[in-house]
Chains A and B, each alone.
Chain A
Amino acid sequence: MKKLRDISLTVITALLLYGCSGESPRPSLYPDYREVTVPKNIAPLNFHYSGKGSGRAVTTFVSRDITVRISGKKVCIPPAEWRRLVLSAEDDTIHVHSSIMGDWDIMVSRDTMDRYLTYRLIEPGYEVWNRVEIKERDVASFEERTLSSWENTSNACMNCHIHKGENSMFYLRGSRGGAILSRRGELRKLNLRRDGMISGTVYGDLHPDGRWGVFSTNIIIPGFHTGPGKRLEVFDTASDLCIADFDKNTILTEPSFCRKDFLETFPCFSADGTAVFWCGADTVSIPVEIDKLKYSLYKTPFDTLTGRLGPESELIWDASAHDASVCHPKASPDGKWLVFTVADYGTFPIWHRECDLWIMNLATGSSRRMTEICSPDFQETYHSWSSDSRWLVFASKRDDGQYGKPFICHVDNTGTGGKPFLLPQEDPYLYERTLKSFNIPDLGSAPAAFDSSRTGLLYRGPDAEIFD
């Protein structure tokens, strides 16, 4: 009897969930590739349907005289067919007809995006790690290779892989780690710390000519919010700026960028390398006054001959005027734009839901929230420019609030972004099944000149080069 009652309850619940007509939920697709602008060298935009009728769906892609038809809920376009479609639709559209969801277009831009995207695969938490890897994905295909793996680095943490032209750098932590610099094909392990610095280098950028690096040194403290859903808060109790000379193995510091009453962090070079953008804030009592910690944006001249910063810095985005805090500035390679992250407060906004990307016109100094690419409810962070300044990749938690995923958007010559789309995967279910975040996605025009075996050899090899 009880069993019968349970079955009846299940049926009633199902009816309530799906409506009295017995219909399943309305069809939807994921990832959403409707009305997006894509580079012509992107991999097939595979997706899947859910909901009513998805198993019987027929999806037709049409571009000029080419037609590709795929049946079923899982829409995986054969790479050769996709290549034919995008080549014929360059600067035009691929028209898509779905038997269950109607019609839409995919705009194919003539702008080609940098082909190599690196990211760290890590569980959302970022305070503790286990089995971390840095991957490099060829965005024109689904090929992914490992640049650094926990397996051959004694499970050390690794982070912040950044590109600048043919050069790139990331950190391998652990007892035999260091800053791993790939410069003109040469791989080096560096100890970017000298006496008097508050820490080793943390956040930074490489100069376009390859000789210099600008970095912050940070004393980083993780904390936990008690408010529901607010999670982790990471803040600095001290931070300074420094310049590394990779030719002479020296680190330059300036007293005016190492103040105890001021926090300096997240430096990056301007496109031509003659200035450094960075974030700065007055120290406050933390964590009690964490909501008063607001960083402004500054621009400081950089002498490419001597590696000296300053002497004067220009305030270009005033935190007090916006009652907000800025981090992660990155200049577009054409020198026109600066994109940065804005949160209500703090310096590490990956768990700040209000966190959005802003863009500044460097010719006029005007800035605005990139409303057209930001989600209203979830955070966008860690953006990276393509070398043609036409594509922006950023991490967004917009799908589930928990896992960062790499979104790509086109940026036109007015600095306006197109509808962001998720980096396509061979398996369209991958993002829903994975338990890793795609952390710090960074675009590069060339593949990294190393792989995980070389990284492992370097890790286990001689000590890191000393810097004075």
Chain B
Amino acid sequence: MAFTAAVLLGIAGWRLYPVLRYPYHVKFAKELSLTLPRLYETFGEPDPVRERFYGMALEASRQNWDKVGELAAEDTKTILGSYFFNLANAMRGELGEHLMEHYQPFGYGLFIPVDEQSSVLSIICSDEVWYQLGEMTMAEHNTMLGMIFSPAQSGPRFYRRLAEINLINGDTAAADKYLALLDDTPDDSWKEKRKLVQKSDFVHGAAQIRPVLKGLLESNPENLPAYEYLLCHDLLTKDISAFIQDYVPGRRECRLYQEAALIYMASENIMNPENMSRFGVTEDVWRDFCRYSDIYTEDHGSGKRLSDNFRRTYWYYFHFAKVNEKAQRH
């Protein structure tokens, strides 16, 4: 009798242990209308890394940016980790400040690519940035893709987001369809997004990110996250000329942008006090740039010594970050 009870308790403990240890697994499964075994079967056995992924996805959809930032800071070199790290910072108005503090898989850490190589989890999370920036067509498209490729092809996570998007767009009939499928009612945070949506209409390809961000800014110049995403997209794709076109000196004080402006001035051979002032380059940044340039020249382009002191500068990223397509998409 005691033995049977002990065995039963053991089984219960064995089953309950991951549930208690990994609460985000449980919540994420519910959001995707999955049982826990189905979640494990699809995305892998419960572990701390997945717990963090699910946590970032869930907390981001609730706009708990400090929590997202906290979870993302623990990440090591994953696209999803960079994606949520950047999003949390952008929503707190600090994207530029912290961009170089984290692994940056080029532009993929800003906008997750969605194609045949993408993981299901990546696709499910890919709508968040578009929604938060106010681009509802891409947000809806990516939410729909997330739903299509999720194991149950349904779930409150998708219904809620699709309802919010359609409420923002004023498509109440479509919103009603998804609201009717939900047990709960979304809060009113979607109303804040309405002022961000594009007022003009044009047609673009899925990979044409820059014109979409510019369109968002034209519709609402106060959309600071969209502005920072535009600048950081230019910088992470190493498109300095695009950055200079998009950069509005003085709008957003940030060392990263000063560093990029110095690269532009150096490449155009227009480094003079007037331009320093125009791009808001401070004395400190200028001094660091000179030190960086000296070491770079002395070491004949080697990054070994530079990595000690300048690993978190845009100059270092610009010179030494290389695309590792295979590793990035894994």
Name A residues whose Cβ lies closer than 8 Å to a Cβ of B: 123-125, 127-131, 221-233, 286-288, 290, 399-403, 432-433, 435
B133-154, CB under 8 A of A: which get 1 and which 0?
Answer: 0011110110011011100011
Contact A123 B147 (CB under 8 A): yes
Closest to A398 in B: B173
A125-B141, A131-B153, A400-B174 are contacts. A224–B203 as well, Cβ < 8 Å? yes
- Give the shortest distance, in Å, between A343 (CB) and chain B (any CB): 14
- Total contacting residues, chain B, CB less than 8 A: 35
- A-B contacts, 9 of them at CB < 8 A, read A123-B148, A228-B168, A228-B169, A230-B137, A230-B201, A288-B202, A400-B173, A400-B176, A435-B153
Quick check: is B171 within 8 A (CB to CB) of the other chain? yes
- Taking A128-B148, A223-B205 as contacts, is the C-beta distance between A231 and B140 under 8 angstroms? yes
Q: Which of B148, B154, B202 contacts A225 (CB 8 A)?
A: B202
Are A226 and B177 neighbours in the complex by a CB distance under 8 Å?
Answer: no
Report the minimum CB–CB distance from A292 to chain B (whole Å): 12
CB pair B144–A401 under 8 Å, yes or no, is no
Please give the distance in Å from B267's CB to the nearest CB on chain A. Answer: 31
CB of B148 within 8 A of CB of A227, answer no
Judged by DSSP, the binding face of A is: loop
- Kindly state the separation between the CA atoms of A229 and B162 in the bound complex, as whole angstroms: 12
Distance, CA A435 to CA B168, complexed state (A): 20
B203 contacts A233, C-beta separation under 8 Å: yes
Q: Is the CB of A224 within 8 A of B204?
A: yes
List residues of chain A with CB within 8 A of the CB of B204: 223-224, 226, 287
Is A224 touching B180 in the complex (CB atoms < 8 A)? no
Task: Check B49 for interface membership: any CB of A closer than 8 A.
Answer: no
| B148/A130 in contact, CB under 8 A | yes
Are A432 and B180 in contact (CB-based, < 8 A)? Answer: yes
> Is A224 in contact with B149, judged by CB distance below 8 angstroms?
no
Given contacts A399-B173, A401-B171, A432-B180, contact A226 B215 (CB under 8 A): yes
B147 lies within 8 A of A435 (CB): yes
B177 and A225 within 8 A (CB): no
Q: What B residues does A225 contact at CB under 8 A?
A: 137, 201-203
A222 to B181, CA, bound (A): 30
Least CB separation from A435: chain B residue? B154
List of A residues within 8 angstroms of B144 by Cβ: 123-125
A229 contacts B169, C-beta separation under 8 Å: yes
Q: In the complex the two chains form, is A228's CB within 8 Å of B198's CB?
A: yes
The chain A residue with its CB closest to the CB of B194 is A228
Using Cβ atoms and an 8 Å threshold, which residues of chain B touch A125?
141, 144-145, 148
Minimum distance in angstroms from A283 CB to a CB of chain B: 16
* A226 / chain B contacts, CB cutoff of 8 Å: 135, 137, 198, 200-204, 212, 215
Measured in the bound complex, the distance between the Cα atoms of B162 and A401 in whole Å is: 13
Contact B154 A224 (CB under 8 A): no
B12 CB-CB contact with A under 8 Å: no
C-alpha gap A435/B154 in the complex (Å): 8
B170 contacts the other chain (Cβ, under 8 Å)?
Answer: yes
Q: Is the CB of A130 within 8 A of B198?
A: no
CB of B235 closer than 8 Å to a CB of A: no
- How near does chain B come to A315, taking the closest CB pair, in angstroms? 28
- Top 3 A-B pairs ranked by shortest CB distance? A227-B201, A287-B203, A223-B203
Q: Which of A222, A225, A228 has the most CB of B within 10 A?
A: A228
A399 to chain B: which residues have CB within 8 Å? 173, 177
Judge whether B148 and A432 touch: CB under 8 Å: no
B262 to A: closest C-beta gap in Å: 34
> Does residue B281 face the partner (Cβ distance < 8 Å to A)?
no
